[in-house]
Structure 1
Amino acid sequence: MTTTASVNCAAAGSGRSTWAATSLPEDLLDDVVRRTGSHLAPGARAQIVLARTIDVEADLLTISAPTLVISGLADNFVDPAHSEHAAEAIPGAVLLELDGGHGLPHEQTGPVVAAITDLIGRTA
């Protein structure tokens, strides 16, 4: 059993997003990567491909650490339903939804830090 806190900052929301990079067909994903060029962080395409193919469903039920799933309501990179699903599947997890996108820790620094500090305080 793990005694440390687990924090998932996978920024998503509750179905309010209309586009998610992880749902793009392969050829369209390549087009997006070409068009964004230098605006796309190194390794971003590989991260998108991983997000499209990795299956952590069975792993979610095995998480025993106190878990906080922080979710940005305007995130267009991660399908918003994934954070909700993760929070529902992880025993005892708490879902925090905030206004903001995929850069939520920078967009909502105060609430994000407060939520993580609270989680750590409850588990120390």
Structure 2
Amino acid sequence: MQIVQSIGERLLRNVQQVIVGKDAEIRLTLLALLCEGHLLIEDVPGVGKTMLARSIARSVGCSFRRIQFTPDMLPSDVTGVSIFNQKNMEFEFRPGPIMAQIVLTDEINRATPRKNGRVPEGEKE
């Protein structure tokens, strides 16, 4: 238990060097990370949501990607795409931004709702 507390405190101090005055938000974000959960951050533009996610990713050594949703975005823009390589005569998978360890999705409400679309299991809970 003390190991987790020590790691959490070091992460908190590290992120507080970048994000000033948002101690409660940083603590809740780190709690979600340590509990292996998901986190929804809603706020007005310009308050440091992206910087918070980026600084936490850098502090723990994780990859970070940001997805800016638009109405014309396709699922392959998020998940990635297989492209045929004519030199090797085989398909190569080019991963999309969702393949990062920490992903920030921005303006998800702008994504076009699909007819007959299903809500993924993770979003139902």
Q: Same fold (TM over 0.5)?
A: no
- With structure 1 as the length reference, what TM-score do the two structures score? 0.30
Bigger Rg over Cα: 2
- With structure 2 as the length reference, what TM-score do the two structures score? 0.30
Instruction: Considering Cα pairs closer than 8 Å and 6+ residues apart, tell me whether 1 or 2 has the greater RCO.
Output: 1
Q: Name the structure with the higher helix share.
A: 1
